[in-house]
Amino acid sequence: MNPLSNEFRLPARPLVELQPLAHFQRQARQRAGQPPPGQPQPYTIVLAEDAPLRLYFISPGQLAGAPPSSHLAGTVLQFTDGFVCQEADIRDVALTASLFYRAAEDAPLPISGPDANSLVFLVNALKQELNAPGLRKEALVRTYLKAFLLHCLRLREEQAPMPPPGAAGSLFLRFRSMLEERYTVLKTVAEYANLLHVSANHLSETIKKETGRTAGGHIRYRIVAEAQRLADCSGLTLKEIAYQLGYDDVAHFSRLFKRCVGVNFSQYKGQLAA
């Protein structure tokens, strides 16, 4: 695979990014321990050009899991839940949750032969679509991204099977599935912990350890990701979106949006129209 010489983004906000590994490593060192205020961290997949190709899966907030600086050739793919889960499809949430489960503890995934060729093909197709104007661009980018993630998940499951759904180690997966089903109704860690039959402290500590983000952070991020999706693809007002997401207090929802996105709703809409 040829490293990408430039960084490509969809308009308005960086929902999907491709960049050279060396550039990513410089950014990771600069941001170590200092995530951008109010900005959720993306999922990251590093394709390091070893023999064989090696995939590093880095959960949000865990840039320390990046490959060592000796790996300078390769490509980095970053994306957000808000882009993958456009239609609140539980299958998409399960995809990211399963693929990045215990990412900080897992060894890089070695890929060779036809599988490596398939992943390179999908990354190049994604790059081409990100860099080209045209109708249905976002839908095509999402399709290539999902195909890439599904291929990665299949390879990971073949090499390191996931624990069964009832296993104690799958608390994060059960939490994420429940979050996707109920984020418009349940808003607190305690409510999810009660349904999962654990204490709120245990749930928060477990989720933080495995993902680098607190359970409360996951809840807020999912709510705001859906608010961004609705702002992007509908003419709904802030008040209408707040009600749709289960908030009667519009002022409280407005503060939550600004806290997570970094700008208020009107400014965000203005960026989309720019």
Kindly tell me if the per-residue pLDDT of 268 is higher than 80. yes
Per residue in 54-109, pLDDT (tens digit) is: 888 887 766 555 566 665 688 999 887 767 765 545 455 566 766 776 665 667 88
Main-chain phi, psi angles of 56, to 5 degrees: -110, 125
3-state secondary structure at position 44: strand
Confidence of residue 242 (pLDDT cuts 50, 70, 90): very high
Main-chain phi, psi angles of 263, to 5 degrees: -135, 160
Torsion sign, CA atoms 99, 103, 105, 107 = positive
Average pLDDT over residues 122-137: 86
CA nearest to 98, candidates 149, 60, 51, 140? 149
Token readout for 33 is 């321990």
Q: Which domains does the chain have, with CATH numbers?
A: 8-159 (2.60.120), 168-273 (1.10.10.60)
The C-alpha atoms of residue 239 and residue 136 are separated, in whole angstroms, by: 29
The per-residue pLDDT for 102 is 62
Most confident among 1-5, 89-93, 96-100, 116-120 (mean pLDDT): 116-120
Residue 223, CA distances (Å) to 7, 22, 188 in order: 28, 33, 12
The per-residue pLDDT for 249 is 95
Q: What is the CA 9 to chain-centroid distance, rounded? A: 15
Percent of the chain whose predicted confidence (pLDDT) is above 70? 72
Average pLDDT over residues 186-201: 94
Average pLDDT over residues 103-131: 86
Number of neighbours of residue 13 by Cβ within 10 angstroms = 16
The per-residue pLDDT for 10 is 38
Q: Quote the crossing angle between the two packed helices 200-211 and 171-182, to the nearest 10°.
A: 100
Token readout for 73 is 């050739």
Averaged pLDDT of the chain: 77
Q: Which of 49-53, 96-100, 215-219 has the lowest mean pLDDT?
A: 96-100
Kindly tell me if the per-residue pLDDT of 2 is higher than 70. no
Average pLDDT over residues 142-150: 90
Main-chain phi, psi angles of 211, to 5 degrees: -125, -15
Percent of the chain whose predicted confidence (pLDDT) is above 90? 22
The per-residue pLDDT for 115 is 92
